[in-house]
Amino acid sequence: MILNWLRKIMIGRYGVDSLNKFLLITALITMLISNLFGGFLLYIIALLILAYSYFRMFSKNHYKRYQENNRYLYYKSKITTFFRKIKNTVHQRKVYHIYKCPGCKQKIRIPRGKGRVQITCPKCHTQFIKKS
């Protein structure tokens, strides 16, 4: 009975997407922090985030909500890519020396522990000597 009533309400509504999940989790965390530290302003901010999340969920403007979600996913991928690159660079520095070509500034990866090596840039064919 209640399930059918809820289905009827949600017909034509946008529903939950990645941005809504993020907003709901953010609102929950903000409420928990405001309860721990007694911040009334933080609690109001959490309620506003929660209200916006419900507004998006019950909206019938699918196109606008879809655009908002795509914008969120775009920025999320930028941030995750940035941190993934940092993690990859830190991991590679344990095994490789990374040098820049003096001619074209191309990054070149040389295995550690090979002594003095002559490096030829694959892009501009400049040769230089470095210690690995």
Whether the CB-CB separation of 59 and 13 falls below 8 Å is answered with: yes
| Global confidence as pTM | 0.69
| Among 18, 20, 45, 19, CA closest to 31 | 45
Which of the 8 DSSP states describes residue 1? -
Q: Alpha helices, DSSP H only, in the chain?
A: 2-10, 18-37, 40-57, 62-93
Rounded Cα distance, 46 and 34, in Å: 9
Instruction: Walk along the chain (132 residues) and give the pLDDT tens digit of each residue.
Output: 777 887 888 788 888 899 999 999 999 999 999 999 988 999 999 999 999 999 999 999 999 999 999 999 999 999 999 999 999 988 988 889 889 998 898 989 899 888 899 999 998 989 888 888
